[in-house]
Structure 1
């Protein structure tokens, strides 16, 4: 995809020029929820742990950790580990990096992301399928596990999927059309990278949604993802799964 097409694609989905062609504020680049986590870190004199961040933001701890680690990867926050003199996993604490320093680290993080995504495309066999599998694992991790023998119906699963995608910064909205049910993802937390390496980034996002649904063990499937399918964003298509077609182990679906 050429540079001009990439700029136009970003303008279609969020109405703004590409972040690589402008000085972006953190909210436009990160999405609303991750920007709110960053603002929380900036408002605190002391580093915050995952549990404290989750409590103040009203997030699941795994989702809070995901946003915090993403801020570290973006060069906007720094992670330190709690010193421990006893066995056990040390707790991680996070603090915001001052703006000037953050800009330098963010540029380095963007370069690293480009390198890794490009290497993935070049060296990983069947890179799109591998990206979907990777996304599925993260989708399961980010979804709160159900209690034993607890069941969830399709309607509740759709609502939970929307909530998690909202927390991750996708700004989703559910729509029903003549073609079927879909989620319109009106924002992409990694749009610049997705425009360059759609097989990797969009594959991860498809797998992410499938992993969420699989962990919920609900009669719902994410059948496909259409990147930048319209002026409103990307379209994720949903379908109802019959009970007889469901499996305890949820075998991997092809993208």
Structure 2
């Protein structure tokens, strides 16, 4: 019998791999490089010790986010081990089909209702409920732990997130939107869906934190999500300012 896959387990392992800022940085280096990188190159680019780089690479490879192979054209004719980011998944293999499907959905939602923001946000919440719901018994996590998981989730989705603390308020700066073109055409749909994903994830984690807003296009390639710690865990039915409102 062929082995069965465990999507929830694979997703959990990927989130765990991306819980480290250093691993996120290494993965972004691999994604941004036009050629495979070896340990020495990654160490130089990341300012990490080669042994630390090897440890982080093993975690990324085990999570399926990176892969290594032997390059026979190493220095002095000796083979070396080089790494690349993986490109598995429907969107990576069929980008044109994926973008077409996303645009059909976004354009239909934007044109068929007078409140696309609310429906798009609820779609994001629904996705979070399906993919983040914990197994009982469950007592919730701290605000810091929840934010760590949210940052890991956005990193896995390709947003290149950066956590910025401003007093009690937290900002997640999203430097790369996988749906940038669509977000420019239909921000009321795409950005609201991402806000719903953020709010729904915090609610499912039972975190004492609230996503107060997501400000799109603060800069041409930068969106900023604002999270505020609270004394009570957020409700999935909370009614808060939406996209574009601080």
**Interval containing the TM-score (normalised by the shorter chain):** 0.5 to 0.7
The two structures have a TM-score, normalised by structure 2, of: 0.59
Residues 170, 189 of structure 1: 8 Å contact kept: yes
Q: Tell me: CA distance 1:52–1:117, structure 2 relative to 1, closer, same or farther (3 Å).
A: closer
Question: Structure 1 residues 158, 194: CA separation in 2 closer, same or farther (over 3 Å shift)?
Answer: same
Give distance in 1, aligned partners of 2:125 and 2:113: 17
Correspondences of 1:1-255 after superposition (within 5 Å): 50-51=5-6, 55=10, 58-59=13-14, 71-72=89-90, 74=91, 76=93, 102=94, 106-177=95-166, 180-230=169-219, 233-243=222-232, 246=233, 250-254=236-240, 255=242
Runs of 5+ consecutive residues of structure 1 not aligned to the other structure: 1-46, 65-69, 77-101
Report the count of equivalent residues: 169
- Does the 8 Å contact 2:168/2:228 carry over to 1? no
User: 1:58 aligns to what SS in structure 2?
Assistant: helix
The structure whose RCO (Cα within 8 Å, separation 6+) is larger is 1
Q: Which runs of 5+ in 2 are unaligned?
A: 16-62, 64-87
Number of the residue aligned with 2:60: none
For the residues of structure 1 that align with 2:114 and 2:188, how far apart are their CA atoms? 12
Is the 1:75–1:108 contact (alpha carbons within 8 Å) kept by the matching residues of 2?
A: no
Equivalents in 1 of 2:237, 2:102: separation in Å? 29
Shift of 1:167: 1.4
TM-score, normalising length: structure 1: 0.57
Residues 200 and 236, structure 2, Cα contact 8 Å, conserved in 1? no
Between stretches 107-116 and 50-59, larger displacement belongs to 50-59
> Kindly tell me: are residues 57 and 178 of structure 1, through their superposed partners in 2, closer, same or farther at Cα, counting changes over 3 Å?
closer
